[in-house]
C-alpha cells in the first residue's frame, strides 16, 4: 500500500511542478527520477553479480572436495585400479578445470592451473 502511495505522490508532484513552474523544471525532475531508478537497477545488478561469483566459487570448491574424496576411495586397496573410479576422477578434474576457465573468463579471479594429467604438465627437457 505504501509503495502505491509513493508512486502516486511522485506522479502528482511531477504534475504540480509542471503546472506551477513550467515544462523545463518538470523535465529536470523527470531526469532525476530516471537517474535514481537507473542507479537502483545498477546496484541490484552488481549484487546479483557478486552473489553469482560467490556461488560459482562455492560449487568449484564442492567439486574439488568430491574429487579428493574419489581419489581417496581410489587409493584404497579394495578399489585400486577400478576403471570406473578412475574415469570418475578424470571427469571430476575436467569439470573443475571447466569451472576454473569459467571463473577466469567472467570474473576477475586468477586461479592456479592444475593440469588434468601428466601429459598436459609442462615437460622439461635436458640439453
C-alpha cell at 46: 552488481
Work out the end-to-end distance of the chain between its first and last CA atoms, rounded to an integer number of angstroms. 80
Higher pLDDT, 125 or 1: 1
pTM of the complete model: 0.58
Q: Helix 23-75 and helix 2-21: axis angle, to 10°?
A: 150
Of the candidates 52, 62, 68, 63, the residue with the CA atom closest to the CA atom of residue 103: 52
Residue at 123 is within a domain: no
Q: What is the pLDDT of residues 93-109, one digit of tens each?
A: 888 888 888 888 877 76
Domain-embedded: residue 126: no
What is the SS3 assignment for 107? coil
Instruction: Please report which helix (H) or strand (E) contains residue 35, including its range.
Output: helix 23-75
Domain with 16 in it: 2-106
Residues 47-55 have a mean pLDDT of 90
112 found inside a domain: no
- What pLDDT, on the 0 to 100 scale, is given for residue 126? 41
Amino acid at each position: 500500500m505504501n509503495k502505491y502511495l509513493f508512486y502516486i505522490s511522485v506522479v502528482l508532484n511531477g504534475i504540480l511542478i509542471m503546472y506551477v513552474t513550467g515544462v523545463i523544471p518538470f523535465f529536470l525532475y523527470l531526469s532525476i527520477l530516471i537517474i535514481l531508478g537507473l542507479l537502483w537497477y545498477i546496484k541490484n545488478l552488481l549484487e546479483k553479480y557478486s552473489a553469482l561469483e560467490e556461488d560459482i566459487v562455492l560449487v568449484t570448491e564442492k567439486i574439488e572436495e568430491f574429487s579428493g574424496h574419489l581419489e581417496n576411495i581410489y587409493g584404497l586397496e579394495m578399489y585400486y585400479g577400478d576403471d570406473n573410479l578412475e574415469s570418475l576422477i578424470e571427469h571430476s578434474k575436467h569439470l573443475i578445470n571447466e569451472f576454473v576457465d569459467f571463473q577466469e573468463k567472467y570474473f576477475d579471479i586468477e586461479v592456479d592451473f592444475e593440469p588434468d594429467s601428466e601429459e598436459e604438465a609442462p615437460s622439461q627437457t635436458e640439453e
